[in-house]
């Protein structure tokens, strides 16, 4: 996006925040999220996605529908999917003809072929997809067995991509080993200004080995907002088109060239719009990222 387009769409976002929820999703549809290629295929993936938000987990279809409308309306597609929210996602895709518009990361951590096949079959039936987009192994307990089942699923044509999803540093050595094995298409891991460690080794390693990286916990389950609460957003953030503390964190993450997509979790429409807006406009350069990190560490 050029500067004029960003200002125009930022104005649309600002206006949207004052609109009733019923029409807020349509106020920002003029913008399309930038994309980055999945290294193993070249397929383009929008750079901001949705995590497993409370609306999804609570089965709140109406609010979940609005969140998905906003995501797709802005050119997004990635949703982190668990078995507990498959019915909501499936209903949405069926009612809105969105089967090809959503890229779903299916978290399956089964330890037996029978359980793995059942979970995959359930996901396919709910989504109406003959082949799943991404099959993720979340926080493995028996990695060797579970990863073998995950690889089998891809080899048997049940998923286009496979990967691992973790949120704790205790798994970093395992993720590094998996990246080096050349068998993973994706890794999902925690990375932010408050948890920057994976940026030292794992993200560069993923980039060098052609593995897509998806980032979770950009706000550390709210800890980040507790830290910046009542703090004034500095004027220099305008240099990279940042309008909120949420965007401050997300733009820091997205400025890392090894990151393909960052996931945000919210049930509030105005926060979803704010989060997605971080994907538009300029991103900070490396010198500015150092300055951003220093600022957060000073709080």
Domain ranges of the chain: 3-298
Q: What is the pLDDT of residue 49?
A: 98
State yes or no: pLDDT of 142 exceeds 70: yes
Residue 35's beta-bridge partner residues?
46
Q: What is the pLDDT of residue 31?
A: 73
Q: What is the pLDDT of residue 269?
A: 97
Q: Three-class SS string for 234-274?
A: CHHHHHHCCCCHHHHHHHHHHCCCCCCEEEECCCCHHHHHH
State yes or no: pLDDT of 15 exceeds 50: no
* Nearest residue to 45 via CA among 73, 78, 70, 67: 78
Residue 96, exposed/middle/buried by CB under 10 A (0-12, 13-18, 19+)?
A: middle
DSSP 8-class letter at 183: -
Answer yes or no: are the C-beta atoms of 176 and 167 closer than 8 Å.
no
Pairing of strands 35-37, 212-216: unpaired
Residue 12 φ then ψ, to 5°: -65, -40
Residue 107's beta-bridge partner residues?
136
Q: What is the mean pLDDT of residues 105-112?
A: 97
What pTM did the predictor assign?
Answer: 0.90
Q: What is the pLDDT of residue 233?
A: 98
Answer yes or no: are the C-beta atoms of 12 and 1 closer than 8 Å.
no
* Nearest residue to 104 via CA among 77, 83, 131: 77
Please tell me which residue, 23 or 260, carries the higher pLDDT value: 260
Q: What is the mean pLDDT of residues 60-84?
A: 97
State yes or no: pLDDT of 6 exceeds 70: no
- CATH fold for the domain made of 3-298: TIM Barrel (3.20.20)
Helix (H, G, I), strand (E, B) or coil at 204: helix
Helix (H, G, I), strand (E, B) or coil at 294: helix
């Amino acid at each position: 996006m050029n500067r004029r387009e960003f200002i125009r769409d930022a104005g649309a976002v600002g206006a949207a925040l004052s609109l009733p929820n019923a029409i807020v999703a349509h106020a920002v549809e003029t913008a399309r999220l930038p994309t980055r290629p999945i290294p193993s295929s070249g397929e383009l993936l929008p750079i901001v996605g949705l995590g497993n938000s409370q609306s999804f987990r609570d089965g709140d279809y109406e609010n979940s529908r609005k969140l998905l409308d906003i995501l797709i309306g802005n050119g997004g597609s990635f949703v982190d999917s668990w078995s507990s929210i498959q019915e909501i996602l499936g209903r949405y895709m069926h009612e809105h003809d969105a089967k090809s518009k959503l890229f779903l990361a299916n978290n399956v951590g089964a330890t037996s072929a029978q359980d793995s096949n059942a979970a995959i079959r359930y996901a396919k039936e709910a989504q109406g997809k003959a082949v799943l987009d991404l099959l993720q192994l979340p926080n493995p307990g028996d990695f060797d067995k579970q990863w073998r089942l995950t690889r089998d699923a891809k080899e048997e044509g049940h998923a286009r991509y496979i990967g691992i999803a973790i949120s704790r540093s205790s798994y970093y050595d395992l993720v590094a080993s998996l990246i080096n094995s050349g068998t993973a298409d994706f890794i999902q891991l925690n990375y932010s200004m408050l948890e920057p460690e994976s940026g030292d080794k794992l993200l560069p390693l993923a980039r060098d080995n052609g593995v897509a990286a998806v980032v979770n916990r950009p706000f550390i389950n709210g800890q980040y907002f507790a830290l910046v609460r009542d703090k004034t957003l500095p004027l220099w953030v305008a240099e990279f088109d940042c309008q909120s503390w949420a965007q401050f964190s997300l733009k820091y993450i997205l400025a890392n060239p090894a990151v393909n997509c960052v996931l945000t979790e919210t049930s509030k429409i105005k926060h979803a719009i704010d989060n997605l807006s971080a994907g538009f406009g300029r991103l900070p350069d490396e010198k500015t990222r150092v300055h951003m990190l220093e600022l957060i560490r000073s709080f």
